[in-house]
Structure 1
C-alpha cells in the first residue's frame, strides 16, 4: 500500500482493508501493514504487529501484543493499546517526521529515536520529545526512551523508566526525588552508559540542600546522607551498578537507580549543580 495516494482504512482484527484505490479487501494472517501517502487509519490485532503510516496525517492503533508503530511523515496519532509497544521515529533527510501525539496506554512502552543523527530531548516527565529531525511530539503513558547519535537529553518521569542514550555524550536527568522513588514500584535503569555520558541530579541537589559524590559503598557500610554512592549487584540477566543516595534516614528516603553493566563511577559522571550543566542542555523553568 505504500505507493497509494488516497486514504486507506485497514484493521487486522476485523480483517478488512479498504480505500478508493484498492477497493475492499479481506486480509487474514497479516501482521504488517504499511500505509501510503494519504491520511490512513490502521489498526492492529491480537498479535505483535508492525504498523507504518507513511505520508499523511495517520492514525495508528496497535491493540493487543507488543507492537511497533511508525507514524512517518505528517502529524500522526499513535496509540499502543495493551502490550509493550515501541513507537519508532524515522528520519527523512531535510525534514522532520511531523508533530505526533503518542499514547502508550497499558504495558511498558518505548519512544525510540535511535534513527536521529542530531540531538533530541525526550522528557518522560512532561511528556514531550523534540529535535530537528523528529519534530515536537507529545507523549502519554510512555515509560522508555531511546536516543540517537547526537548528544541527547533524556529526562525521567515518576514511573519506572528505562533510558538508553545511544551514541554521543548524553545526559540522563532526574529532576525530583519522586522521579527516583517511583511510588515504590521499582527502580529506573540507564541501559547504556558510555564514556562522556552524565547523570544530572542538580535539581534534586538544589531541592535538598546539596549532594556530594561519595564513591563506592563498601560491604556493610551504612550509606551516608546526602551523598551519591554506588555498588555492584548481580541479577539473573547480568550485572548492574546500583547508584544510591539517602535523603533522610528517619523517613527512610533511600533513592536508587540502576545502570546496566559494571561501572566504576567517578564524580565526573554526575552533574550536581546547575552551573555544571552543558551549555546546550535545556534549562528547567520550574
Structure 2
C-alpha cells in the first residue's frame, strides 16, 4: 500500500493501481485513487481546503475534511464522509454509504442500494436509479432536508426539522417512516394534477381504486396512489406518457390524517 502525502499548497495527487492512502493536507486539492481493481481499497483524506476526491475503482473510503468538497466514489462499495462545509457527494455504482455531517450537503447514491445520512444542516438527498436490490435508505438528520428516493422501493427518514419528500411518476413504492404533520410535506413533480380538483382522500385502499381523482390518499393504510387515467377509476396498466403505469407511490407509516396542505405541487 502506497502512502501519498500532499503539502500546504494546491495538490494534484494520483494513486497507483493498488491500494493507496492519499492525504491532501491544506490547500484546494484533487485526489484520485487511481485505476486499481475491484478488490483494492483506497483511503483519501482531503483535510482543509475545498477539495475534490475521486475513488474510481475499488471499495474506497473518502473523507473530505473541512471546507466545501466534492467527493465521487465511482465503482465499488464506497464509504464517503463529507465532514464540515457544504459538500457534494456521489456514490456512483454499487452499494455505497454517504454521510453528510455538518453543512448543507447534496448527496446522491447513484446506482445500487445505498445508505445516505445528511447529518446536520439543510441537506438534499437523492437515492439514484438503483433497483437491483430494491432499496435505498435516506436519512435526513437534523435540519430542513429534501429527500428523493428516485427509482426503486426506498426507505425515507426525514429526521428532525421541516422535511420535504419528493416523488416522480417513474419512482418506486417508497415508505416514509416519520412524517410530521404540520411540519413535513410531500412534493409531487410531473404528475400534472390540480390539488384543488384532482386530489382525493378516502377511507381505504379499496376506495382508492374506485376513485377517479388523479392522486388518492388512503387514510386507512397511509398509502398514496397515482391514477394516470384521470377521470376513469382504477390505476391503469399503461404508461400514458408518465413513464410508468399507475399504482402506489408511497406509504406513510402511521397513516397520518393528511390534507391538501401537506402536499406541494411545483409550477411546471
Q: Tell whether the structures are fold-level matches, with TM greater than 0.5.
A: yes
Look up the match of 1:128: none
Change in 2 beyond 3 A, CA 1:201/1:212: farther
1:284 is paired with a residue of what secondary structure? coil
Give, in whole Å, the separation in 2 of the partners of 1:78 and 1:277.
29
Correspondence 1:1-286 to 2 at 5 A: 5-6=8-9, 7=11, 9=13, 11=15, 14-17=18-21, 32-38=43-49, 39=51, 41=53, 43=55, 46-47=58-59, 49-55=60-66, 58=69, 60-73=71-84, 78-91=89-102, 96=103, 104-109=109-114, 111-116=116-121, 120=122, 122=124, 124=126, 145-150=138-143, 152=144, 154=146, 156=148, 159-160=151-152, 161-174=154-167, 179-182=168-171, 186-194=172-180, 196=182, 198-200=184-186, 204=191, 205-206=193-194, 209-217=197-205, 222-226=209-213, 227-229=216-218, 232=221, 241-248=222-229, 249=233, 252=236, 254-259=246-251, 261=253, 263-266=254-257, 269-270=258-259, 272=260, 276=261, 284-286=266-268
Change in 2 beyond 3 A, CA 1:110/1:211: same
The TM-score, its normalising length taken from structure 1, stands at: 0.57
Give, in whole Å, the separation in 1 of the partners of 2:100 and 2:138.
11
Change in 2 beyond 3 A, CA 1:56/1:255: same
Give, in whole Å, the separation in 2 of the partners of 1:154 and 1:189.
15
Give, in whole Å, the separation in 2 of the partners of 1:20 and 1:230.
53
Give, in whole Å, the separation in 2 of the partners of 1:122 and 1:76.
11
Give, in whole Å, the separation in 2 of the partners of 1:123 and 1:284.
18
RMSD: 4.5
* Contact 1:51/1:60 (8 A) holds in 2: yes
Question: Unaligned regions of 5+ residues in structure 2, if any?
Answer: 26-38, 131-135, 237-244
Change in 2 beyond 3 A, CA 1:10/1:61: farther
- Number of residue pairs matched? 229
Give, in whole Å, the separation in 2 of the partners of 1:144 and 1:18.
29
Change in 2 beyond 3 A, CA 1:149/1:54: closer
Give, in whole Å, the separation in 2 of the partners of 1:20 and 1:88.
20
Give, in whole Å, the separation in 1 of the partners of 2:149 and 2:186.
14
Give, in whole Å, the separation in 1 of the partners of 2:99 and 2:185.
25
1:110-164 CA-to-partner distances (Å, cap 9, x unmatched) read 5432323xxx36375xxxxxxxxxxxxxx976976432333x3535475335432
Look up the match of 2:240: none
Structure with more strand by fraction:
1
Give, in whole Å, the separation in 2 of the partners of 1:195 and 1:207.
18
Give, in whole Å, the separation in 2 of the partners of 1:59 and 1:246.
39
* Contact 2:109/2:128 (8 A) holds in 1: yes
